[in-house]
Amino acid sequence: MSQEAAAPEFRIGFGYDAHRLAPGRELWLGGVRIPHEQGLDGHSDADVLLHAVCDALLGAVALGDIGLHFPNTDQAWKGADSKRLLSAVVELLARHGWRVGNIDCTLVMERPKVMPHAAAMREAIAPLLAVGVDAVSIKATTNELMGFVGREEGACAYAVALVVRA
Ligand code: MG
């Protein structure tokens, strides 16, 4: 067998997050502020979509999870823009020799409609990951009025990420 260059090394990761909806909070999803009568509650800006992406990236390289790196007891992250968390995760991956390949996310939320904001979210997220917008997929669905999402008590998000040896 001929000697060939080593195949690229890939890793896959999965992330999930959920946050409660609460009055008097801004709604931040995928790094974009969306007008709504309530927002997601949490220690940071509670951007459930970016948190799922962070966990997918951390999971791909087996470096723990968002709660380990950004504990909600740490005042440094109180009210933090989750784009800062995502950037910190991408830097951590880079220090370990990994870059992002692509991500695919699904946001589950009853209201408001999310897809009109998907293009803005992709534009916001892609530079943080140092990838093109074509490597950032955002999908959304309702929960057909079932469960905590259906009752509009909160929202959740799922993400998968592929990372590549830098
Ligand atoms: Mg979270």
Ligand 1 center to 116 CA (angstroms): 23
Among residues 22, 19, 30, the alpha carbon closest in space to that of 53 is found at 30
Ligand 1 center to 13 CA (angstroms): 17
Ligand 1 center to 146 CA (angstroms): 21
Segment 25-84, tens digit of pLDDT: 999 999 999 999 999 999 999 999 999 999 999 999 999 999 999 988 888 888 889 999
pLDDT of res. 149: 97
Ligand 1 center to 46 CA (angstroms): 6
Superfamily of domain 10-165: 2-C-methyl-D-erythritol 2,4-cyclodiphosphate synthase (3.30.1330.50)
Q: How far apart are CA 79 and CA 165, in angstroms?
A: 33
pLDDT of res. 76: 84
Q: What pTM did the predictor assign?
A: 0.94
Q: Which residue has the higher pLDDT, 18 or 7?
A: 18
| Residues 6 or more apart in contact with residue 164 via CB below 8 angstroms | 8, 9, 10, 98, 99, 100, 101
Ligand 1 center to 54 CA (angstroms): 9
